[in-house]
Amino acid sequence: VSRPLRTGSTALLLCDIQSRFESVVHGFESLSRCASFLVKSASELDLPIIVTEQYPKAFKETIPAIKKILPEKNTKIFEKTLFSMCTPEVKAHLNELGCTSVILCGLETHVCVLQTSLDLLSMGIDVHVCADGVSSQRKFDRSVALSRLATSGAVISTSESLLYQLVVDSKHPKFRALQPFIKENAANSKESELLTF
């Protein structure tokens, strides 16, 4: 059973949301909007953000729409060739942060997201996979991977649900500031291609 999400012990992980994948990944625009919502919310709540880029020489950098809103003080970007985000450098950073849980979004669900989740779970870190923020080139690969993750101990959730879990109370001092992001995300969700499990 996973522990409750708390702002003091949770990090946001963005897995390989890079320009080269934009034209090939199912629902990439929907994923990008969801990731932007999570980044804005994490920034408002002062959550640490960990970004990886899979071999950027070939697959380019994180897309500009996300890169331009990453908060400088709380963000670390790591290049990798490993499919999992859990490189030695990322593991060391997670240990420094003292995170007991992560929110994970990005691509591809059946490769990097899956392997990252399994690695984090083996480290004793709770993994909350944002279902509306992960995808693959093929819908079937995404669906099978989400099922595998759910039976492997990861929590499959949605972006809005994850944010409300972090905030806990409508009296939270940042709740009012988060409202525009919540409304924008709700509007974007009506057109999302990633609302199937």
Q: Give Cα separations from 113 to 46, 108, 120, 127, 169 (angstroms).
A: 23, 6, 11, 11, 30
**Beta-strand runs (E) in the chain:** 10-15, 49-54, 75-80, 101-107, 126-135, 155-157
- Please confirm, yes or no, whether 169 is among the known catalytic residues: no
Measured distance CA(53)–CA(111) in Å, rounded: 14
Question: Given 15, 105, 112, 130, which residue is catalytic?
Answer: 112
* From 80, 86, 99, 119, active-site residue: 80
Paired tokens of 111: 């490769």
Q: Is 112 a known active-site residue?
A: yes
119 carries an active-site annotation: no
**Residue at token pair 């509007």:** 187
The tokens 């897995």 sit on which residue? Answer: 15
- Active site positions, annotated: 16, 80, 112
